[in-house]
Amino acid sequence: MKKSVLYLLLAAAGAVLLIAGGLWLRSGVENVAAYLCIGVGAGILGHGLGGWLQERALSKDPETRRRLEIETSDERNIILSCRAKAKAYDAMVYIFGTLMLVFALMRVDVAAILLLVAGYLAVCGIGVYYRIRYDKEI
Amino acid sequence: MKNRLEELRRARGIRQEELADALGVSRQTIGSLENGRYNPSILLAFKLARYFDMSIEDIFIYEEEVR
């Protein structure tokens, strides 16, 4: 299936979700799921429409498509992106740690702090997993 | 790592954009290579060597670090 058709289908699915969420709210039943439908629907609709417009523009301009492909596969760009992500990860570990401490001092609900701790540990765990995996692969 | 990329490119009268196009990399990569700010992967080094019909050692100058 063509990429542009896939994006259109995605946009349509997003629109359906968005409209369903709106109708759900208008029916008077106010719940989290309706707001979730609107949020997720709007996101999918935007992503689908954006992708479709990009595909349309690039299909008329093969030179720009070629340049875009070079930019995304360029080894220096990939290295820069990986380095930036690594720096962001390092910063995230400190930011998460500080947030946990601040939340504990603010006496925020234990469930919220535990969720944050679980997220923090999951991120660290994923880091360790990939470190070991890449050590075996490379 | 120092290299002779700029000298070789200028000697052939080609622009950074043309070299980048021929190698399938961005113009910024060629600029960074010429400035010595970026060391290429071994694959890109081979591509450059093939493009200029030279060996990698003729393009890139390896200087051992003094400790």
Q: Contact, A46 vs A10, CB < 8 A?
A: no
Of the pLDDT bands very low, low, confident and very high (cuts 50, 70, 90), residue A133 is very high
- A53-107, pLDDT tens digit by residue? 999 988 888 888 898 999 999 999 999 999 999 999 999 999 999 999 999 999 9
Shortest Cα distance, chain A CAs vs residue B66, angstroms: 27
Please tell me if residue A90 touches chain B, with a CB cutoff of 8 Å: no
Q: Measure Cα distances from B27 to B2, B10, B18, B21 in Å.
A: 19, 15, 8, 8
- Is A27 an 8 Å CB contact of chain B? no
Which tens digit of pLDDT belongs to each residue from B22-61? 999 999 999 999 999 999 999 999 999 999 999 999 999 9
Contact B5, B48 (CB under 8 A): yes
Q: What DSSP letter does each residue of B4-21 carry, written as one string?
A: -HHHHHHHTT--HHHHHH
Strand partners for B3: B60
B65 against B31, higher pLDDT: B31
Q: Which of B5, B19, B26 to mutate to test the interface with A (most CBs of A within 10 A)?
A: B26
Q: What would the mean pLDDT of A4-8 be, rounded to a whole number?
A: 91
**What residues of chain B lie within 8 A of the CB of A73, using their CB?**
24
Task: Flag whether residue A74 sits within 8 Å of chain B, measured between CB atoms.
Answer: yes
Question: Which residue type occupies A10?
Answer: L
| CA–CA distance, B55 with A25 (Å, rounded to integer) | 69
Q: Which helix (H) or strand (E) holds B61?
A: strand B60-61
Q: ipTM score of the complex?
A: 0.88
In angstroms, the CA B61 to CA A51 distance is 45
The residue among B25 and B63 whose pLDDT is bigger is: B25
Q: Kindly report the nearest CA distance between residue A81 and chain B, in angstroms.
A: 14
